[in-house]
Amino acid sequence: MKKPKIGDKIYIPSAMYVYRGRDDVQGGLATISEVKINRNLPKNHMNSIFIRVEEVPVTAYNWNILMTKQEGLKKMFGDQVARPDPDDRPEFNQTSADWK
């Protein structure tokens, strides 16, 4: 599996949160802005590499999982660029949610 590099393009999925609507994301093509390699884990460990992207800088993505989904995400999003898609309605941003 290839290693991620800053500046590489990759597809990320959409994400919609029940109690954190302000963090919702429309998936699509994104540019890698940061690569974190956990040197305490074996090289082939599923969680050894995480990335961040320019378009959604607050979220870290598991590189190995994203790599398995690239073909399907490309079919789904095509040329669409990933972006934040916040839902600021109070009912979807409950800081006192009972599941926390």
The string of pLDDT tens digits covering residues 55-81 is 999 899 999 999 999 999 999 999 999
What is the CA angle 75-79-82, rounded to 5? 95
pLDDT at 25: 93
Q: Are the C-beta atoms of residues 16 and 93 closer than 8 Å to each other?
A: no
User: Between 99 and 53, whose confidence is greater?
Assistant: 53
H helix runs in 15-100, sequence order = 63-77
Query: Which secondary-structure segment (H or E) carries 67?
Result: helix 63-77
From CA 52, how far away is CA 90, in angstroms rounded? Answer: 27
> pTM of the predicted model, to two decimals?
0.85
Q: Are the C-beta atoms of residues 24 and 78 closer than 8 Å to each other?
A: no
User: Between 25 and 95, whose confidence is greater?
Assistant: 25
Residue-wise pLDDT for 11-51, tens only, equals 999 998 877 778 889 999 999 999 999 988 877 888 889 99
